[in-house]
Amino acid sequence: MNGILKALRRKGKAMEDGIGTALSGFPPKLVKTITCDQDPEFANWRRIEKRPVP
């Protein structure tokens, strides 16, 4: 896995769920930060930040 995933829909909720799903495959200690750009699909970055890592 190269860490790059293609989004099927460019909506905030879809991106939030997709990022959560993608990160769930990694141990919590491995993922410290993610970087989002300023496009509208990342408008939910605060909720993504507060999501518990499975």
Span 22-41, pLDDT tens digits = 888 888 888 777 777 777 77
3 is a domain residue:
no
2 is a domain residue:
no
Which structural domain range is residue 33 located in?
A: 12-50
Cα distance between residue 24 and residue 5, in whole Å: 14
C-beta separation of 34 from 20 below 8 A: no
Kindly report whether the global pTM for this prediction surpasses the value 0.75: no
4 is a domain residue:
no
37 is a domain residue:
yes
The count of domains in the chain is 1
1 is a domain residue:
no
Span 1-17, pLDDT tens digits = 456 666 666 777 888 88
Q: Where are the alpha helices (DSSP H) in the chain?
A: 12-23, 45-50
31 is a domain residue:
yes
20 is a domain residue:
yes
